[in-house]
Chains A and B, each alone.
Chain A
Amino acid sequence: MNESPTPVWDGPTRLFHWALAVLVLVAWLTAGEQMTLHRGAGYAILGLVAFRVWWGFAGGSTARFSQFVRGPSAIRSYLSASRQGQAPERAGHNPLGALSVIALLGIVALQAGLGLFAIDEDGFEGGPLSDRIDFDLARQIAEWHELSFRLVQALVVLHLAAIVYYVFRKREDLLRPMVTGVRRFSGPVQGLVRAPLWRLAVGAGIGLAVAFAASRGFKLG
């Protein structure tokens, strides 16, 4: 731990992460009760996911899918190296954690996407696209919306369990770097390469456009 702090996560990635965590919590707490807030959280989540996909191609080095999404053999060799305590230190997601990132992004997008079409049993509170389909289908989708939330919960629990595991078994604090953006390594490690600011502006534009369009049921004009 004698190396100076190395940047690992850029600001937009951290902001995305914490905003998503808060919004998933808001969506959970408001479900079935404060539906205006619930819908708002859903639109914002869709916007965030759209931003994150853009950032996965155009963002800082550690946010890029090409930097962390790996095949099964890379995951296997990471696991065996990790078991022997020989996994190389790196800035960014390890090959196993990458699966968690992809799964969380996918299931959160699915969850919000289903919500667009769902309606409550009273035919009263619904997503902005529920008027495109009939009551029975919208009710079926509402049930899937509830089921897929169980998957969201399961992945969040796994995510938190992994963080606890890393703290106690591997003596690695994953939480702090997601707040501060920097981490100390025991040896020299290639740190984050930041993306130019204009790409953040484009990503913010994409995210806002998607959230706004979703709130309008993707109707133009």
Chain B
Amino acid sequence: MILSRSLLSAAVCAAALAMAGGAALAAVNAKAVIETRQANFKSMGKAMKTMNDGLKADTPDMAAIAANAATIRGLAPKITTWFPKGTGPEAGVKTEAKAEIWTDPAGFAAAARRLETEATKLETLARASDVAGTRAQVRVVGGTCKGCHDKFKQD
């Protein structure tokens, strides 16, 4: 009886430890996921700024602009994979991701696809050295960033 009681408490302790460990592991994973996606969004912001700054010149370096457009075009289709369940506001890690990402997954995926489409157009225009078209399309791509952020990201 005494033996089984101590066995029971040992089992309870082990279970509690396992749960705490699991929660800690999930927290570590959420933190890593959130940091990675923030770094990815940052490289898109950086690419956007580089294009905007470059397009201010009278004769912009269109190859460099196409390369930055390609960065955004390449990352856009991956966006939806950066938001696994458990990496939202409930993660306990600082994130500006709104719960709407998970409650409206179709809307979120559509917003990401819009970015992919517009970034592809941008890259094509830049490769064709269409300066005026690229300048106009950069504004469209910027608009898709803001459009998605207004809905799915906290200020």
Contact = CB atoms under 8 A, between A and B. Distances in A.
Interface of A: 32, 119, 121-126, 130-131, 134-135, 138-139
Interface residues of B, number: 17
B52 A135 contact: no
A123 B49 contact: yes
Contacts of A123: 44-50, 52
Interface of B: 41-42, 44-50, 52-53, 56, 142, 145-146, 149, 155
11 contacts: A32-B155, A119-B49, A122-B45, A122-B146, A123-B44, A123-B45, A124-B52, A124-B142, A124-B146, A131-B53, A131-B56
Contact of B46 (A32, A130, A131, A135): A135
Given A121-B149, A131-B56, A135-B42, A126 B49 contact: yes
Contacts of A32: 155
A121 B49 contact: no
A87 B44 CA distance: 60
3 closest A-B pairs by CB: A123-B49, A123-B48, A124-B142
A135 B155 contact: no
Given A130-B49, A135-B49, A138-B49, A122 B56 contact: no
B46 A126 contact: no
Contacts, number: 42
Contacts of B149: 121-122
Contacts of A126: 49, 52
Given A131-B53, A131-B56, A121 B45 contact: yes
A171 B36 CA distance: 60
Contacts of B50: 123, 135
Given A134-B46, A138-B49, 14 more contacts: A121-B149, A122-B45, A122-B142, A123-B44, A123-B46, A123-B47, A123-B48, A123-B50, A124-B49, A131-B52, A131-B56, A135-B45, A135-B49, A139-B45
Contacts of B42: 135
Contacts of A124: 48-49, 52, 142, 145-146
A122 B144 CA distance: 10
A121 B49 CA distance: 10
Contacts of B142: 122, 124-125
A145 to B, nearest CB: 14
A124 B53 CA distance: 10
A209 to B, nearest CB: 22
B98 to A, nearest CB: 14
A203 B149 CA distance: 43
Contacts of B56: 131
Contacts of A125: 142
A129 to B, nearest CB: 11
A135 B48 CA distance: 9
A121 B41 CA distance: 9
A34 to B, nearest CB: 12
B44 to A, nearest CB: 8
